[in-house]
Structure 1
Amino acid sequence: MTSIFSFFTPKDKAFQPLFEQASSNVLLIAEKLLETVSTKDLDQRRELIKEIERLEHVGDDITHTIFIELSKNFITPFDREDIHSLVSALDDIADYVHATASNIELYNVVVISETMIKLAEILVEMCRDLDKAVRELRSFKNIRVIADACVRINSGENQADYVTNIAIARLFEFEKDAIELIRQKEILQTLEIATDKCEDAANVLESILVKNA
């Protein structure tokens, strides 16, 4: 009987620690990106980019483990589709942060613009709110934390859009080197997509909140 009851018990003990590992890793990878674009030491920048790559692989492993848990467990803490969407969005954030860092190295970008730093700062704040919200899924005791975090994430994405659009417009107006324009534009857009993925994760959290609070 014990084994039967355990089969039908929501696997919060299995899923929630993995959700928190995923969100914590995303915050860490965003913080490493901010360090990457903030340093003028090229050797340190290369080391940080290697660390971002390592953390992206850690995120992939966590995502894979969660999907395995989904396939094994009949009962889940909340809708399977929401779990899949949330974890996929978190994985996408890490992917685009990794892509940003890789492009900085591949394109041999030496001078980092103030806009890149600003976008990285916005991304860190969004990921910090995302991590706070994910941790509240453990009990749903303070749903206001989740709701407020989602509002701030949505606001951050709007700010990132605005900052990116202005920066790209100025690139086309003032940058005379076509190759440099393409480099800068690619990095800015990849960073902005990372903020879009944060908003995607926040939207899933809002859906979970409506269904379970």
Structure 2
Amino acid sequence: MPTTELIPDKDALRRVGETVRARLAADPRVYKVPTEKAEIFAVGDFITPSECQRLMRMIDTVAQPSKLYDQDYSTGFRTSYSGDLNGHDPLVKAIGRRIDDLLGINGICGESIQGQRYYPGQEFKPHNDWFYTSEDYWKTERKRGGQRSWTAMAFLNNVDKGGETHFVEVGAKIEPKAGVLMVWNNALADGSPNENTLHAGTPVLEGVKYVLTKWYRTRRHS
């Protein structure tokens, strides 16, 4: 088994996992997806219909072909359009603080909220949100807040057909429903990366899909 020294931020991931786990367990709004493979939760009506409409308009103004650290749009791995929302906008600030409070994580550890838009045929193939520490980009990300701990992702609209978030190893497909917030722990209870958080944005078949995502680090994000 890998030692703590070989898994960067392992202790920090374990500690934040314990804190968030206890906070979510005490919140009656929170539904836990029934699986032992990963910690995945949902909160209905987390974002109001009017807020969803405003956020979708914001996404339309910033959306550009989505990028990955080691692949570009042309690979077809991630074919959505995305962009960071204005962190100074009062609504964006309010949503960010609402997510911070739900999880009990200091907002300084959060990355900028990113909006994503998927047209028919667009998708995000199976991936994990945590950083692969053997890759070159980790040298930079380690200095910018370290490993990703929790992911928060909100659906902003209902999708006519397709566009589910598919947790491949868990065997759960989450249908997009406007206002629903999904959160999951990218680590196991001991702080090591959880391979079972592998997930995909399945292709949209009819309609358009809008989501926003906020990732949290183990330290202040910069």
Task: Establish whether TM, by shorter chain, passes 0.5.
Answer: no
Q: Which protein has the bigger helix share?
A: 1
TM-score by length of 2: 0.31
TM-score by length of 1: 0.32
Q: Which protein has the bigger strand share?
A: 2
Find the structure with the greater CA-based Rg. Answer: 1
